[in-house]
A and B are shown apart, each in its own frame.
Chain A
């Protein structure tokens, strides 16, 4: 061990390991993170491609509805009330004489906004609490988990009715405020699920040796949480978020249908389904088209979530 020639042997060693480098080179592109690996994998899944195409279409509809239709969704012609699909109006007209195609296109915006905003808020609250509970453990974890249990125990629809009806009774509320309220009530009732997912992922990440190594280097708590635990715990939350987005769009529709969510003049799929309630027998198309778009969108997000889960699953690789 004291032979200086052997020490120099170490520094010349890299050439010996070219064989190992070659292993990686076989697979083509050079540095591959887990994310890029997952992306590589996703691109080859039909499930992902179909759902992604659907979601892109819906997003496009919500951002640039004018690309799809030039009809004003808020222009009603009572004379055309309940008219069926035709060449002029592909989806027909509803009870009030609104063009259903135009409203379905424009309605995607409110649905997507509620879905995305509620998901972001849910993930933000849930992940923060989950990470803290997972890292610190002990009484903090106990307290946070019990609070989460309380919220988790509330039935979703009942909870939403209570929240929305108590906050909305104060006279007239603007459409923005209504959207905000709906987003808030969905998030408040949903964050415990996200917290549980993040908490268990964080606990698993915390027990890994690389966290031990970082602590041995003297890394601060924030560094360990943000640099080591979060990136390794984020995958299951990502999957949850994708599926939740679909579910929240459905939840918006549920609340609107019950008359406590969005309402006219806001156009959303839920509002449209709610409007069709009384005329289902005579004008089934007024229910069919928004419901079909809603179902397809929810399904697309759930499928996307499944595809992402499989792509991120380390056991599969």
Chain B
């Protein structure tokens, strides 16, 4: 029942003719800092198919954003160093690709949107110009065609009065509008895959709901693969097909959304769900996960979660748990995953 980390198996996902859209395979990344070597990613593997939404869930420092940055090729190196693994896009290993090829893939193959739209947009150019620039440089469009397409894109992300808005600067947009503009920009080159890094964290709930609806609509319309990076268990529950839970640079659990919420396959996931205050349930005391996430400079021996785990045994302190396959498309990196699932 156990497999090694590099042989991730996803029988549960849709059958694939040829290579999958995106495959991250046993990725290792370190940050070499003055204080020592921080092991940021320690064998991360996941796969995304067209039209599928994978939510990467984790707290700060879990490595969820670093994985995305490595996939996009925008990781700061130094201090980052990729020490192992592959990132395959349509079967092509991007880590071995030439810088020119990587630039081609960025934007037209895989695009990314960020949490802070204000700093991701250049304040000295109009929103329209920033969208048109890509179209002209990468698609060789004329100025007029690019403007027309930019307006279309802004309309697609439901920005009212798109014709007037293309001429405006990012600071003239409200928070929600800015996030929409950034989505429009990321769609300019018709990517097959979109990575959204905490796209709604900086927004108010009512606006967050609008943006999530928009992302979902666009994804369905274009049959895009979507990686949603977030810490919000609520947002994940509303949109994700599959979920990968990260802790200390490892994926500790991977599962279909419904299964994960119904019966968590890892004590960390269980702890996260229990510590979440619920809008629909008023409890008295929240069950917390004791302690703190480990320092990446000094990850505990064995299972990285063992100092905080309520089910810790001796084996957890010595041996790194392998990925247990609990069901088709369901993995858990816990020595006692089967008991967790079947037991009480």
Q: Residues of A at under 8 Å CB distance from B?
A: 1-3, 6, 16-17, 19-20, 22-23, 26-27, 41, 317
**Cβ-defined contact, A41 with B35, below 8 A:** no
Prevailing SS type, chain B contact patch: loop
Q: List 25 A-B contacts (CB under 8 A).
A: A1-B284, A1-B285, A2-B284, A3-B284, A3-B285, A16-B290, A16-B291, A17-B291, A17-B292, A19-B291, A19-B292, A19-B307, A19-B308, A20-B291, A20-B292, A22-B298, A23-B292, A23-B295, A23-B298, A26-B295, A26-B297, A26-B298, A27-B35, A41-B34, A317-B34
With A and B bound together, what is the CA distance between A180 and B91 in angstroms?
77
With A and B bound together, what is the CA distance between A19 and B295 in angstroms?
9
A22: B residues at CB distance < 8 A: 298
Q: Is B329 engaged at the interface, CB distance under 8 Å to the other chain?
A: no
| Most B C-beta atoms less than 10 A away, residue of A2, A17, A22, A317 | A22
The total of Cβ contacts below 8 Å across the A-B interface reads: 27
Total residues of chain B contacting the partner, CB 8 A: 13
Output the least CB separation between B82 and chain A (Å): 23
With contact pairs A27-B35, A41-B34 given, residues A6 and B285 touching in the complex (Cβ less than 8 Å): yes
With A and B bound together, what is the CA distance between A108 and B97 in angstroms?
60
| Most A C-beta atoms less than 10 A away, residue of B284, B291, B307 | B291
With A and B bound together, what is the CA distance between A27 and B291 in angstroms?
19
With A and B bound together, what is the CA distance between A317 and B33 in angstroms?
9
- Taking A26-B295, A26-B297 as known contacts, 16 extra A-B pairs with beta carbons closer than 8 A to each other, sorted by chain A number, are A1-B284, A2-B284, A3-B284, A3-B285, A16-B290, A17-B291, A19-B291, A19-B307, A19-B308, A20-B291, A20-B292, A23-B292, A23-B295, A26-B298, A27-B35, A317-B34
**B285 nearest CB neighbor, chain A only:** A6
A19: B residues at CB distance < 8 A: 291-292, 294, 307-308
With A and B bound together, what is the CA distance between A94 and B165 in angstroms?
75
User: Per-residue 0/1 for B271-312: is the Cβ within 8 Å of any A Cβ (1 yes, 0 no)?
Assistant: 000000000000011000011101101100000000110000
Prevailing SS type, chain A contact patch: helix
The 3 closest A-B pairs by CB, nearest first: A16-B290, A23-B295, A19-B291
**A13 nearest CB neighbor, chain B only:** B290
**A317 nearest CB neighbor, chain B only:** B34
B285: A residues at CB distance < 8 A: 1, 3, 6
**A23 nearest CB neighbor, chain B only:** B295
B291: A residues at CB distance < 8 A: 16-17, 19-20
With A and B bound together, what is the CA distance between A41 and B34 in angstroms?
9
A3: B residues at CB distance < 8 A: 284-285
With A and B bound together, what is the CA distance between A23 and B248 in angstroms?
14
A17: B residues at CB distance < 8 A: 291-292
A41: B residues at CB distance < 8 A: 34
With A and B bound together, what is the CA distance between A22 and B294 in angstroms?
10
A2: B residues at CB distance < 8 A: 284
**A19 nearest CB neighbor, chain B only:** B291
A317: B residues at CB distance < 8 A: 34
CB-contacts of B294-344 with A (<8 A)? 294-295, 297-298, 307-308
B290: A residues at CB distance < 8 A: 16
| Most B C-beta atoms less than 10 A away, residue of A6, A19, A23 | A19
**B33 nearest CB neighbor, chain A only:** A317
Output the least CB separation between B104 and chain A (Å): 33
**A24 nearest CB neighbor, chain B only:** B295
B297: A residues at CB distance < 8 A: 26
Output the least CB separation between A46 and chain B (Å): 15
**A16 nearest CB neighbor, chain B only:** B290
**B289 nearest CB neighbor, chain A only:** A16
B298: A residues at CB distance < 8 A: 22-23, 26
Output the least CB separation between A47 and chain B (Å): 15
With A and B bound together, what is the CA distance between A20 and B294 in angstroms?
8
Output the least CB separation between A303 and chain B (Å): 20
**B308 nearest CB neighbor, chain A only:** A19
Output the least CB separation between A6 and chain B (Å): 6
With A and B bound together, what is the CA distance between A23 and B291 in angstroms?
12
**A5 nearest CB neighbor, chain B only:** B285
With A and B bound together, what is the CA distance between A60 and B298 in angstroms?
45
Output the least CB separation between A298 and chain B (Å): 29
Output the least CB separation between A163 and chain B (Å): 43
Output the least CB separation between B299 and chain A (Å): 11
With A and B bound together, what is the CA distance between A26 and B284 in angstroms?
37
With A and B bound together, what is the CA distance between A27 and B34 in angstroms?
11
With A and B bound together, what is the CA distance between A317 and B290 in angstroms?
28
A26: B residues at CB distance < 8 A: 295, 297-298
With A and B bound together, what is the CA distance between A17 and B291 in angstroms?
5
With A and B bound together, what is the CA distance between A23 and B293 in angstroms?
10
A16: B residues at CB distance < 8 A: 290-291
